[in-house]
Amino acid sequence: MTAPLPPKPDPRPDRVSLWRYFRLFRADILSAQPARLYRAWMAEFRTPFFRSFLCNDPALVARVLKERPMDFPKSDRVREGLAPLLRDSVFLTNGETWLRQRRIIDPAFEGGRLRDTFPAMWEAGQACVTRLSTKISPEPIEIEAETSHAAADVIFRTLFSIPIEDATASAVFHEFRTHQNASPVVNLGALLPLPRWFPRFHSRATKRTAARIRALIERLTAARAAEIAAGTAPDDLATKIMTTPDPVTGACFGTSEMVDQVAIFFLAGHETSASALAWSLYLLAQNPDWQDRIASEAETVIGEEIPSFSILNRLKLSRAVFREAMRLYPPVPMFVREARCPETFRERPVPKGAQVVISPWHLHRHERIWHNPDGFDPARWDSENGKEAQRCAYIPFSTGPRVCPGAGFAMAEGPLLLSLLTRAFRFETVAGAVPVPVAHLTVRGKDGIRLRLSPREGALPPRA
């Protein structure tokens, strides 16, 4: 029996009024787009308030992200939606400030340091297996909530050496949920290119939850600063980032700037991984043959070796599945830049200030680039077409100098957790519960992703 195609949102009709477009856009940016964007190299949207250019041409994507990124900075409009929480975080800054912040942050995520985070990732994976073992029942479970919990646990353990059960960690996790519900602009991925004169009210609830989250994070960073001063700090990502001076100016992050960075690590680092992991599990549930192959790979690799960073190299199938899940459901489906000066894109003039939209969602399913663009095929990465498309049209972590600093971290965490979960459980789809992908802060199932969970026969208990 052939597996059904992975779910894809219905596109909107080709022509709609501006008003209808705004309404669709507010509801969900994925289904607000016409089907032609899966075939077009570029699309221009003209409204009375802004001009926007969606770029699918790999040469244009490379120009914007890799060749001249300083001429296409992040738009201030993105900043406005996220500012109450993220202030001067590296995700929002531009120019000199951004360069300085990356000089301090990047070393914490480099190869050697990544290796050091492995034990914390492993423990978070084991904790997730134990938690899910208590939830086995004939009733389906909502898997996104579980992967969110697990990914938040990974972040707290690797950043601050505390598990999600820690009182402050768990308070931050729950406040983030409340914040997202209170903050529709954040839920839209802050992509709505509203006109500049449009007033952007942050509800009192948004400001309140943002302030509470920042106060909690401040408590964590202040405690860590004291431990660093006393020489008792654990050797984790927070210590590394707080003690790394900028090689150019010699200055470390100040307290408030460190709070900004922790807020974005938490937000960017847990929502994204949670989304990729949840879709990976759904795709495996749709494709039981692949699920069995991942389980057997995990059994061989994890069963044989003392858990260490080197097992990740051997989780090849798991990595291919995780990569394929992020092709079909890129956690960050679109991002926006602004043209700093007049440009020409595919012989069309692009005015200064125009929005430049890069859409992994469309690029990853582009009909003129990928064979079988909407199908689930983790073996594609070994094919000629898969290799070529990966090189020019696969950007789940963006690319160029502004590439996600957590990419290596996520590519360690994702396949590891996927393998541990698949080794312990069997995941099955639920009749009539096909998740519709929508873009919240990341790509999620409209009503969550429900799966049925049962123990995998012969699975070993979690290993310490």
| Contact code string over 405-424 relative to ligand HEM, x by CB under 6 A | xx--xx--------------
Beta strands in 160-218 (DSSP E): none
Q: Where does this chain touch ligand HEM (CB under 6 A) — which range of 51-59, 223-231, 265-273, 311-319?
A: 265-273
The candidate with the shortest Cα–Cα distance to 168, out of 181, 152, 180, 191, is 152
Give me the least distance between CB of 75 and ligand HEM, in Å please.
Answer: 10
Determine, following the binding rule CB under 6 A, whether residue 396 of this chain makes contact with ligand HEM.
yes
For the chain, the helix, strand and coil percentages under 3-state DSSP, each to the nearest 5: 55, 10, 35
| Least distance to ligand HEM, CB of residue 20, Å | 27
Q: Which of 455, 413, 458 is nearest to 296 (CA)?
A: 458
Q: Which of 356, 410 has the CB closer to ligand HEM?
A: 410
Question: What's the one-letter identity of residue 230?
Answer: A
Closest CB to ligand HEM belongs to which residue?
406
**Which residue carries 């100040």 as its tokens?**
254
Contact map string, positions 213 to 252, toward ligand HEM, x by CB under 6 A = ----------------------------------------
Exposed e or buried b per residue across 97-108, where buried means at least 16 C-beta atoms within 10 angstroms of its C-beta: ebebbbebbeeb
Q: How many residues bind ligand HEM (CB under 6 A)?
A: 22
Residue 312, Cα to own-chain centre: how many angstroms? 20
Residue 88, helix vs strand vs coil: coil
Burial (CB < 10 A; 0-12, 13-18, 19+), residue 396, is buried
The 3-state secondary structure of 399-440 reads CCCCCCCCHHHHHHHHHHHHHHHHHHEEEEECCCCCCCEEEC
Alpha carbon 94 to its chain centroid, in Å, reads: 20
Task: Answer yes or no whether residue 307 interacts with ligand HEM by CB under 6 A.
Answer: no
Q: Contact 161/236 with Cβ under 8 angstroms?
A: yes
- Restricting to residues 354-393, which ones interact with ligand HEM according to CB under 6 A? none
Choice between 89 and 170, CB closer to ligand HEM:
89
According to the binding rule CB under 6 A, does residue 82 interact with ligand HEM?
A: no
CB of 445 to ligand HEM, least distance (A): 16
CA count, 13 A, side-chain hemisphere, 440: 21
CA distance 189 to 175: 18
Provide the minimum distance between the beta carbon of 455 and ligand HEM in the complex, in angstroms, as a whole number: 27
Looking at the Cβ atoms of 242 and 410, the one nearer to ligand HEM is 410
| One of 102, 212, 314, 340 touching ligand HEM (CB under 6 A) | 102
Query: Do residues 295 and 323 make contact, with C-beta atoms less than 8 angstroms apart?
Result: no
**From 2-10, 280-288, 404-412, 433-441, span contacting ligand HEM (CB under 6 A):** 404-412
- Interface pick for ligand HEM out of 188, 268, 438, 439 (rule CB under 6 A): 268
Per CB under 6 A, the list member of 33, 117, 221, 273 interacting with ligand HEM is 273
What whole-number distance in Å separates Cα of residue 426 and Cα of residue 456?
A: 5
CB of 210 to ligand HEM, least distance (A): 18
User: Which amino acid is present at 286?
Assistant: Q
Strands 51-55 and 355-358: parallel
103 binds ligand HEM (CB under 6 A): no
The helices-and-strands tally (H runs, E runs) of the chain is: 17, 11
Candidate segments 165-173, 226-234, 327-335, 425-433, binder of ligand HEM by CB under 6 A: 327-335
Q: Is 404 annotated as a binding residue?
A: yes
Asked if 87 is part of the footprint of ligand HEM (rule: CB under 6 A), the reply reads no
Tokens of 64: 């914007």
Residue type, 351: P
Q: Does 402 bind ligand HEM (CB under 6 A)?
A: yes
Q: Which of 253, 265, 290, 427 binds ligand HEM (CB under 6 A)?
A: 265
User: Segment contacting ligand HEM (CB under 6 A): 38-46, 116-124, 227-235, 394-402?
Assistant: 394-402
Could you say which of 398, 419, 422, 429 contacts ligand HEM (CB under 6 A)? 398
* Listed ranges 45-53, 168-176, 202-210, 263-271: which one lies at the site for ligand HEM (CB under 6 A): 263-271
Would you list which residues are annotated within the binding site?
A: 404
Would you list which residues are annotated within the binding site for heme?
A: 404
Which residues contact ligand HEM by CB under 6 A? 90-91, 102, 264-265, 268-269, 272-273, 276, 331-332, 335, 396-398, 402, 404-406, 409-410
